């Protein structure tokens, strides 16, 4: 009986939470907005899906007519308006983070609808076609134990980004040549042991020497074996090495079922994977690795969760120690402005620590979601819905510039959005003002356009949890704009330095380039990231991450 009463009370509380939600402490929604309803959340993607059913040419005996196009466009416009309307009219009272994401979803969804139904078909005469991926197992070249494998998807065969005619590098690591010249400590020990043995007189079989050599060899072998056992444990199951072939479908969906699947795949394919308008693949090689379920599970348990928990612990402790006592002060009070809290209450080292913690937390959270979706949808293979290429295409410790971080060290979930609404307009503007031809690279416009579009998207989203105040959203805008400028500046410096070295007969790369590059991008990300963290403190997002 007690169990029944408890269950009834719990259901009543959940019903009240959904039907009559109370605004979460610390949430500052746009004035005049109201709690998100079920209908408002469901209608935009549903109408978008119905419009997608008419995007691809219908099979015979259906006839493509102006009336079908008109119905499709009306549905698309309706879906786009409803998407854009979401963050302007609604908020999620139970969560600051979900209200922030509502801004991302609304803006991304609306822009995606405009791209799919108007920009691509009418400006570029392009309707996305399906891409079929065929993966054939390939044999890897055997690599001796202890020698690291430079996986193709880690560097993607990427050319130097600042030199459009640059030659392929054999190794992306600038310190690779020096590593090849200097033997490792283990190799030195082995050579030294061999040299000492050869120094002995021929036929010398002194017992103590044999025992010493045997003991040293046993200690050396056990240490190496322990090291590689630990390395195998941390690395976990290897992804499947495959050779990928992508083939574009020549025709369009024929049956209604195929049309329905085509529309669903296109709507759910956030990065465009499985269709001809994808911009997410930065590997530039047919050789790739398919993450297996066991590989993803291991990655979550050994890599993602530890980073997630440690970064959360750092964020929570900083919030509890420095900010929690000012959490509920009105914004118009003397100490209520969170900008003052971030700048005045947090010492500079703590600001940088909080910024780094937020960055690590976000990277781990994205990776966790990506891996979980890959595991859940793996039974759908070979459908594109089950195709999850690596979210981050290089490792953090291999990044040596700001450009490489944003190109290969961060996710590309919004790549299509930034391409259409930032990169292309930026390239057009640069060619317009400089007189460049269409076949000439417009790298400055491309970079600045992409980062400025990202600045607007994130500022628009955080506005929804800052009381609709555009003036308070400048932190995220500054962060992305300054990173765009940093990419342009580092490119100019890199070209100047290489030119200077070439004129004086030096090699293009110096042994210290990698270390300088790592120090540079970390300094830029942490320094400019303080603007990002400041906005997240002010909006209450840090508070919600800390579970306060």
Is the domain of 123 the same as that of 31? yes
Residues facing 132 on adjacent strands: 247
Half-sphere CA count of 294, side-chain side, radius 13 A = 7
HEC states along 30-94? CCCCEECCHHHHHHHHHHHHHHHCCCCCCCCCCCCCHHHHHHHHHHHHHHHHHHHHHHHHEECCC
Is residue 216 within 8 Å of 194, Cβ to Cβ?
no
Is residue 483 within 8 Å of 361, Cβ to Cβ?
no
Give percent helix, percent strand, percent coil of the chain, each to the nearest 5.
Answer: 65, 5, 30
**Closest C-alpha among 241, 250, 248, 249 to residue 285:** 241
Is the domain of 236 the same as that of 255? no
Tell me which residue has tokens 């308008």. Answer: 277
Please count the residues of the chain: 548
Is the domain of 125 the same as that of 255? yes
Is the domain of 122 the same as that of 38? yes
pLDDT of 279 reads 57
pLDDT of 326 reads 80
Compute the distance between CA of residue 71 and CA of residue 505 in angstroms, rounded to an integer.
Answer: 66
Is the domain of 192 the same as that of 233? yes
Compute the distance between CA of residue 79 and CA of residue 88 in angstroms, rounded to an integer.
Answer: 15
Q: Which stretches does DSSP call E strand in 237-343?
A: 240-248, 287-290
136 three-state secondary structure: strand
Compute the distance between CA of residue 465 and CA of residue 342 in angstroms, rounded to an integer.
Answer: 17
Residue 75 domain-assigned (yes or no): yes
Is residue 242 within 8 Å of 381, Cβ to Cβ?
no
pLDDT of 546 reads 93
Residue 369 domain-assigned (yes or no): no
Is residue 118 within 8 Å of 76, Cβ to Cβ?
yes
Domain that holds residue 220: 156-240
Is the domain of 105 the same as that of 166? no
Is the domain of 123 the same as that of 177? no
Tell me which residue has tokens 């579009």. Answer: 453
Is the domain of 226 the same as that of 261? no
Tokens of 434: 């400089």
Residue 8 domain-assigned (yes or no): no
For the chain, the first-to-last Cα distance in angstroms comes to 35
Is residue 264 within 8 Å of 408, Cβ to Cβ?
no
Sign of the alpha-carbon dihedral angle for 527, 443, 389, 44: positive
Sign of the alpha-carbon dihedral angle for 394, 396, 397, 400: positive
Residue 335 domain-assigned (yes or no): no
Residue 235 domain-assigned (yes or no): yes
CA angle 175, 181, 185 (to 5 degrees): 95
pLDDT of 247 reads 83
Alpha helices by DSSP H, 236-278: 256-268
Is the domain of 36 the same as that of 55? yes
323 three-state secondary structure: helix
Residue 418 domain-assigned (yes or no): no
Q: How far is CA 14 from the centre of its chain?
A: 34
Task: List average pLDDT for each run of 10 residues in the chain, which is 548 residues long.
Answer: 52 56 86 94 97 86 77 96 97 95 96 95 89 76 45 36 40 42 40 42 44 50 61 64 80 87 87 69 58 85 94 96 81 53 90 97 94 89 77 87 92 89 95 91 94 96 92 92 97 94 90 94 96 92 91
Buried b (16+ CB within 10 A) or exposed e, 349-361: eebbbbbbbbbbb
Tell me which residue has tokens 């590997």. Answer: 283
CA 151 to each of CA 79, 148, 172, 298, 399: distance values in angstroms, whole numbers, following the listed order: 42, 9, 11, 18, 15
Buried b (16+ CB within 10 A) or exposed e, 44-60: bbebbbbbbbbbbebee
Domain count, the chain: 2
Q: Which stretches does DSSP call E strand in 139-271?
A: 240-248
Residue 147 domain-assigned (yes or no): no
Residue 106 domain-assigned (yes or no): yes
Is the domain of 93 the same as that of 51? yes
pLDDT of 180 reads 40
Tokens of 321: 């120690």
132 three-state secondary structure: strand
Is the domain of 27 the same as that of 120? yes
Is the domain of 262 the same as that of 232? no
């Amino acid at each position: 009986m007690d169990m029944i009463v408890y269950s009834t009370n719990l259901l009543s509380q959940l019903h009240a939470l959904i039907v009559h939600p109370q605004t979460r402490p610390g949430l500052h929604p746009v004035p005049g907005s109201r709690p998100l309803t079920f209908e408002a959340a469901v209608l935009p993607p549903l109408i978008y899906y119905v419009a997608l059913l008419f995007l691809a040419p219908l099979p015979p005996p259906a006839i493509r007519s102006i009336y079908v196009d008109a119905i499709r466009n009306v549905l698309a416009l309706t879906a786009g308006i409803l998407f854009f309307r979401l963050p302007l009219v609604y908020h999620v009272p139970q969560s600051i983070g979900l209200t922030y994401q509502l801004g991302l979803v609304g803006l991304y969804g609306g822009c995606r609808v405009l791209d799919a139904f108007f920009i691509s078909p009418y400006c570029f005469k392009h309707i996305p076609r399906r891409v079929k991926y065929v993966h054939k197992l390939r044999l890897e070249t055997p690599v001796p134990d202890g020698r690291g494998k430079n996986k193709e998807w880690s560097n993607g065969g990427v050319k130097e980004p600042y030199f459009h005619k640059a030659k392929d590098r054999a190794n992306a690591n600038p310190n690779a040549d020096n590593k090849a010249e200097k033997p490792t400590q283990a190799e030195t020990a082995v050579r030294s042991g061999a040299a000492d043995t050869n120094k002995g007189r021929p036929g010398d079989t002194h017992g103590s020497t044999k025992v010493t050599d045997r003991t040293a060899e046993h200690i050396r072998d056990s240490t190496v074996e322990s090291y590689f056992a630990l390395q195998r444990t941390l690395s976990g199951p290897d992804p499947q090495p495959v050779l990928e072939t992508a083939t574009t479908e020549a025709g369009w969906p024929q049956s209604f079922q195929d049309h329905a699947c085509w529309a669903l795949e296109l709507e759910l394919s956030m990065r465009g994977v499985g269709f001809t308008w994808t911009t997410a693949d930065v590997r530039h090689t047919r050789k790739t690795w398919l993450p297996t379920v066991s590989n993803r599970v291991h990655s979550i348990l050994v890599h993602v969760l530890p980073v997630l928990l440690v970064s959360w612990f750092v964020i929570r402790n900083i919030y509890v120690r420095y900010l929690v006592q000012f959490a509920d002060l009105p914004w118009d009070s003397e100490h209520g402005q969170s900008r003052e809290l971030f700048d005045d209450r947090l010492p500079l080292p703590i600001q940088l620590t909080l910024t780094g913690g937020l960055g690590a937390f976000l990277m781990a959270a994205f990776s966790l979601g990506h891996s979980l979706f890959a595991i859940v949808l793996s039974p759908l293979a070979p459908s594109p819905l089950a195709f999850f290429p690596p979210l981050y295409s290089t490792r953090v410790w291999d990044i040596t510039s700001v450009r490489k971080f944003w190109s290969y060290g961060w996710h590309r979930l919004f790549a299509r959005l930034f391409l259409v609404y930032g990169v292309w307009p930026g390239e057009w503007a640069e060619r317009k003002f400089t007189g460049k031809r269409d076949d000439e690279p417009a790298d400055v416009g491309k970079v600045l356009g992409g980062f400025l579009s990202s600045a607007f998207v994130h500022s628009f989203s955080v506005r929804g949890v800052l009381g609709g105040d555009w003036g308070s959203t400048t932190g995220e805008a500054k962060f992305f704009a300054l990173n765009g400028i940093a990419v342009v500046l580092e490119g100019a410096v890199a070209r100047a330095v290489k030119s200077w070295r070439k004129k004086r007969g030096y090699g293009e790369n110096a042994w210290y380039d990698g270390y300088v590059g790592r120090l540079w991008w970390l300094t830029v990300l942490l320094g400019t990231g303080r603007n990002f963290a400041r906005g997240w403190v002010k909006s209450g997002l840090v508070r919600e991450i800390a579970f306060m």
